[in-house]
Structure 1
């Protein structure tokens, strides 16, 4: 009987100790998604601005302008969603993104390098957004991913068409 009493105290102690351990944020993926999406937006804007200056082909310049316009709008929506959801983003994820140095120093190969970077980048971005749009736990962030996904798919289609012409 004494052993049963001691065992029950130990079990109760283990249960109450577990309850006191702080639990992690149940949806850290929302913050991670917003950080990744913000960095991707800023990279597209930066590279798009570079395309406006350095591209030789008019369709590459046009695509660059679309990147600047669309991703600036997407970034504003993202920041608004983060604020309304009470998610704070690190300053490094919301500003100061510079274009890839290889792209910046591409010279005559700029158009080809830019298009290649945009194709692979948008394939990855569409996948990231599609994942969160279907499995994300934060409703507001999931809605943002769903809202921006058609535009990202359109970007991918456009840049793939340009790639075929090169």
Structure 2
């Protein structure tokens, strides 16, 4: 899994999560799941905060507000479910680069970039949580992944709808 994490650093948040299932011959470890889900959650909250102030459309700002609310709750549930596994409180370099790109963008270009990042991030999150929910041994963390998956799928649908409306 460390090779996958190196891949994550090189190509970004969604690439790691989307490729973990394809690259990993073995199930995702609880440590890797908590790390990847934690980084993704911090990214989601920070990106949404930027979108709430820079988004030019009401629907994008409303989506961002929902992301802050839901991902803050998901982060708390992850922390409660992680047991002795440390949950990251910051983003990694790849996620920071995405946040920096959002900070630098403005106007309609910002809206398009934010929505594209959200589609990719939620595609990756659904893949990560699905694989962990399917393959992990029974326990609190697997239950968390299973219970969170419908929320992430809903976010994925919302992001895809926003993307289709931006065209």
**TM-score, structure 2 length as denominator?**
0.76
For 2:37, the equivalent position in structure 1 comes to: 37
**Structure whose alpha-carbon radius of gyration is higher:** 1
8 Å contact 2:136–2:142 — kept in the other structure?
A: yes
Q: Which residue of 1 aligns with 2:90?
A: 95
Which runs of 4 or more aligned residues in structure 1 lie more than 2 Å from their structure 2 counterparts after TM superposition? 85-89, 95-99
More contact order relative to length (CA 8 Å, sep ≥ 6): 2
Give the direction of change, closer, same or farther, for the CA distance of 1:39–1:138 in structure 2 (3 Å limit).
farther
What's 1:60 paired with? 60
2:123 equivalent in structure 1: 123
CA displacement, residues 49-97 of structure 1 (integer Å, 9 cap, x when unaligned): 0000000011000010011000000000001111xx33234xxx22367
Q: 1:123 to 1:28 in 2, by over 3 A?
A: closer
Shift of 1:40: 0.5
CA contact under 8 A between 2:40 and 2:91: conserved in structure 1?
A: no
CA contact (8 A) 1:30 1:138 kept: no
Q: Which runs of 5+ in 2 are unaligned?
A: 1-26
Runs of at least 5 residues in structure 1 that lack an aligned partner in the other structure: 1-26
| TM-score (ref. length: structure 1) | 0.76
Structure 1 match to 2:152: 152
